[in-house]
Amino acid sequence: MRRALSFALAIPLVVTAAVALAAPIAIGDKVPANFTATDIAGKPRTFPSIAGKKGTVLIFFRSAAWCPYCQKQLKEVRALPAELGKRGYSLAAISYDPPATLAAFTAKQEVNYTLLSDAGSRMIDAFGLRDTNYAKDSPAFGVPRATILVIDAEGVVQKKLTADDYKIRPNNDAILAAVDAG
């Protein structure tokens, strides 16, 4: 029993040690200088290329392919681009899904904002948002903690919405309130 408990407690440490994780991004931090992710057309995108005049709302989600909570959130936020645009913000969402998966989701769900692929979870790790509860052999290895960042045009995080339970996501009103409060 003691041996099994020791092994169970060591697993998260092994997973964390195998991945270079930054400290979780906080309010007042700048986005990583090397921010680059791939859009659904396969084009590399930097933070300035996705930012609106005043900034962007960046959603970190687990997967458009298999996470029903992410799929629901991604569909619900389709109502936000117009309201965010009035405020000078753009909307983008990022996951470890490949561009083809995100393109298929975009076509099927008529997504009207930028979806970004983070191959190898490099940006997820740079933002310190990797969910370390998954072993390297898990299909969920590399997913981020479900997080929404309100980032100003200079790349500084103004607001951070996150929850310990990946099933809980802020609704559109909470996202707009975070933008308005920033």
Which residue type sits at 39?
Answer: D
- What is the domain-level CATH number for residue 135? 3.40.30.10
Alpha helices in 28-163 (DSSP H): 47-50, 68-76, 81-86, 99-109, 122-126
Domain boundaries, position 120? 2-181
Q: For residue 164, give both structure tokens.
A: 């310990």
Number of domains in the chain: 1
CB atoms within 10 A of CB 29: 18
What are 23-71's pLDDT values in tens digits? 999 999 999 999 999 999 999 999 999 999 999 999 999 999 999 999 9
According to the model, what pLDDT value does residue 164 have?
Answer: 83
* pLDDT tens for each residue of 81-110: 999 999 999 999 999 999 999 999 999 999
Q: Are 115 and 64 in contact (CB under 8 A)?
A: yes
pLDDT of residue 15 exceeding 90, the answer is no
pLDDT (0 to 100) of residue 22: 82
pLDDT at 163: 83
